[in-house]
Amino acid sequence: MNSSLKGPGPHFVKPTHLNMLNTLHLLAIPVLLIGYNLWEYLLRRRRRGLPYPPGPRRLPIIGSFFDVLTRTGLKTQWAIYRDMGHMYHSDILHIDIFGDHTVVLNSAKAAEELLGRRSGIYSSRPTMYMANESGWGWNFGIMPYTSLWRLRRRTFHQHFRSDAIAAYHPFIRQATSRLLRSLSGIQSTTMVTQYDDLQAIIRQHAASIILYITYGINEQEDMEAFVELVKNAAESINTAAIHGNFLVDYFPLLRYVPAWFPGAHFKRKATRWSRYTSELVNKPWNQLRASISSGTAISCFGTKCLEKVDFTFNAADATGDISDLGTSKTESDTKMEEVIRDCAGTAYVAGSDTSVSLILISVLVLSHHPEIQAKAQEELDRVLGSATQLPDFSDRGNLPYVEAVFKELMRMYPSVPLGTTVVGNAWAILHDENLYPDPLTFNPDRFLRTKPQRGAPAAKDSLNPDPELYAFGFGRRICPGRHLALDTSWLVLACLLATCNITRISKSKEIDPIADFTDAATVHAKPFKCCIIPRSAGAFELMQTGYEVETTVET
Ligand code: HEM
């Protein structure tokens, strides 16, 4: 087996704390910062309570800043945390940077105990100053654990449950047909699939699904503009929304520094980014509002929530402020509309990049594993007949090897490797050799020997537990979009395996990059080229025709 793809570990390069370094020369105003921190440090000494879990040595004021900094640049954050856990012989790690405390959970046991069983205590987020400065305040994924978060989470969950997503299967099939047609189109002009073309097709696919489900947006031209919008915002969500990437997260007073101040790059970045974030949450929402007014709206998350406004709204919940209970109905409706708009924006941004990462990584990994493709294709041909029909959701139970490939992709390449504050280190857990023997080898067979139960809690000492248990976060902050993500990504994987052979271009570094990944909130494979060739004339035809589906969505 080709084991050159070793998962997002040793190949990663970018230090997450680089953004912090970029703004380091802001320490030109050290008096303010050191004074502030000294004050905090003295306060903490007076309040000293239970000891912290083990972790790198802490110096007064700066904590473990230099210890962490000297390691970044060599590896990714999640690999560093895993190695530190080994060094301090603890699966729970404490890191203090400038008085900002992070607890990292490197084992399934610790994550299940703290983020599962005690999730009421450990489900919050620190205040994300840089994210707020960049206009992300409406995104409930970064909100602390408050009544504001609870209302948004509840509103979101009702429409993204597994059964609610099943109602959108016809649309997901239609989007997958479009993806296959586009892929067969670029294949007919050139043998090599360029990364930008592939990425554009996959981004279009993810965006079309989330925009349709959330806003009922279905027009191709609109879609392109909205894909661009989310691309513009990607840099900021992937850096500003990670607490601690910018000095302002450690020194909140810095947010009062004017944008023109020498070294205040973060302020200028935040100003630029907040234009994108505002467009992101408002543009598609305004389009939905306009379509409701003109009577052309398609039933979707937005319309269904708005229909319910009168019955569900509780002003105290929406504002977190009891005094608001006296609010007039019009004000209440306006506030609830904001809640719905914010949830829709969160779905749009959270759903646009994550599945893209998983699908692109799948293509890269498959191009390195022809033997695994052949085994999956043998199963697909046996179950569906050779190039006669595309795999469908109803076939999923009869395709255990395709399922195993899907699980192995999620295990070895978790798209969102870390959470926040009390950090479940999904990457460390999914590469723990006590759970997954030989964790750096891509081997779907591991999921054939044991029978992972979808959604069932992992037995304490079972081998190869279902990666779905860890790849989507933990406890109350577990990804509420996972049902949509799993359905859309599984269908693309099964269809690609059924219709195409994916191969590497050559072993030369420039045109066949092996697993180099970006280090961000959502991990992406670095640009790569490969050949995606229809397996036969019949397969090409299937890609062109796609599913013959009824596109009306039952709601
Ligand atoms: C392969 C695809 C996906 C993966 C791997 C993934 C993974 C995750 C993870 C690990 C978290 C928790 C992060 C943390 O603890 O800080 C999360 C949160 C979240 N995800 Fe996903 N996700 C995916 C797709 C989606 C989709 C398609 C949607 C929208 C429909 C979505 C919506 C959200 C939201 C709203 C949150 C924030 C939840 C909260 O803070 O309460 N995700 N996701």
Q: Which residue's CA is minimally distant from atom 23 of ligand 1?
A: 354
Amino acid 381: pLDDT: 95
- Report CA 508 to chain centroid distance, whole Å: 30
DSSP letter assigned to residue 52: P
Identity (one letter) of the amino acid at 99?
Answer: G
The pLDDT of residue 76 is above 50: yes
Task: State the pLDDT confidence band at 179, using cuts at 50, 70 and 90.
Answer: very high
The pLDDT of residue 263 is above 90: no
CB-CB contact of 241 with 131 (8 Å): yes
Nearest-10 crossing angle of helices 329-367, 301-312: 150
Site to substitute for ligand 1 among 300, 479, 483, 490, most atoms within 8 A of C-beta = 479
- Report CA 543 to chain centroid distance, whole Å: 28
Task: State the pLDDT confidence band at 74, using cuts at 50, 70 and 90.
Answer: low
Read off the pLDDT of residues 191-244 as tens digits, 9 standing for 90 and up.
667 788 899 999 999 999 999 999 999 877 778 888 888 888 877 887 887 777
The pLDDT of residue 516 is above 70: no
Place of tokens 């999921």: 447
The pLDDT of residue 259 is above 50: yes
CB-CB contact of 468 with 410 (8 Å): yes
Q: Which two tokens stand for residue 54?
A: 């083990």
479 is in an annotated binding site: yes
Q: What are phi and psi of 100, to 5 degrees?
A: -100, 120
Q: Which residue's CA is minimally distant from atom 14 of ligand 1?
A: 419
Q: Which residue's CA is minimally distant from atom 13 of ligand 1?
A: 419
Task: State the pLDDT confidence band at 55, using cuts at 50, 70 and 90.
Answer: confident
If phi > 0 it is left, if psi is from -120 to 50 it is alpha, else beta; for residue 355 that is alpha
Residues forming beta bridges with residue 96, ordered by sequence position: 101
Pocket of ligand 1 (CB under 6 A): 140-141, 153, 160, 210, 346-347, 350-351, 354-355, 358, 415-416, 419-420, 471-473, 477, 479-481, 484-485, 489
Q: For residue 416, report the distance from its CA to the centre of ligand 1, in Å.
A: 8
- Asked whether the whole model's pTM tops 0.90, one would answer no
Amino acid 46: pLDDT: 54
Q: H-helix or E-strand containing 120?
A: helix 119-122
- Report CA 417 to chain centroid distance, whole Å: 9
Beta strand spans in 429-535 (E):
500-504, 530-534
Read off the pLDDT of residues 84-139 as tens digits, 9 standing for 90 and up.
888 888 888 888 877 777 888 889 888 888 888 877 777 777 788 898 999 999 99
Spatial CA neighbour of 106 closest among 427, 337, 478, 376: 427
Spatial CA neighbour of 553 closest among 205, 224, 218: 218
Distance CA 167, CA 147 (A): 29
Q: Which residue's CA is minimally distant from atom 32 of ligand 1?
A: 481
Spatial CA neighbour of 388 closest among 179, 535, 550: 535
The pLDDT of residue 328 is above 80: no
Lowest mean pLDDT among 89-103, 492-506, 534-548: 89-103
Contacts of 428 (CB under 8 A, 6+ apart): 78, 81, 82, 85, 106, 107
Half-sphere exposure of 303 (CA within 13 A, CB side): 19
Q: Is the dihedral of CA 226, 232, 236, 237 positive or negative?
A: positive
- The DSSP code sequence of 159-172 is HHSHHHHHTTHHHH
The pLDDT of residue 36 is above 70: no
The pLDDT of residue 6 is above 50: no
Distance CA 36, CA 341 (A): 38
Spatial CA neighbour of 345 closest among 112, 143, 65, 97: 143
Q: Is the dihedral of CA 453, 346, 152, 244 positive or negative?
A: positive
Q: Which residue's CA is minimally distant from atom 31 of ligand 1?
A: 481
More confident residue, 7 or 366: 366
Q: For residue 98, report the distance from its CA to the centre of ligand 1, in Å.
A: 28
Q: Which two tokens stand for residue 510?
A: 């420039």
Give SS3 for 230. helix
Amino acid 511: pLDDT: 40
CB-CB contact of 190 with 178 (8 Å): no
Mean pLDDT of 417-424: 69
Spatial CA neighbour of 99 closest among 47, 162, 23, 160: 47
287-316 residues labelled b (16+ CB within 10 A) or e (exposed): bbbebeeeeebeebbbbebbeebeeebebe
Q: Which residue's CA is minimally distant from atom 18 of ligand 1?
A: 479
Read off the pLDDT of residues 268-306 as tens digits, 9 standing for 90 and up.
999 999 999 999 999 999 999 999 999 999 999 999 999
Average pLDDT, the chain: 80
The rounded percent of the chain whose pLDDT value lies above 90 is 38
Pairing of strands 422-424, 100-105: parallel
Q: Which two tokens stand for residue 233?
A: 């915002």
Q: For residue 465, report the distance from its CA to the centre of ligand 1, in Å.
A: 20
Site to substitute for ligand 1 among 482, 489, 523, most atoms within 8 A of C-beta = 482
Read off the pLDDT of residues 300-326 as tens digits, 9 standing for 90 and up.
999 999 987 754 444 444 444 434 444
Q: What is the 3-state secondary structure (H, E, C) of 390-416?
A: CCCHHHHHHCHHHHHHHHHHHHHCCCC
The pLDDT of residue 405 is above 90: yes
Amino acid 317: pLDDT: 47
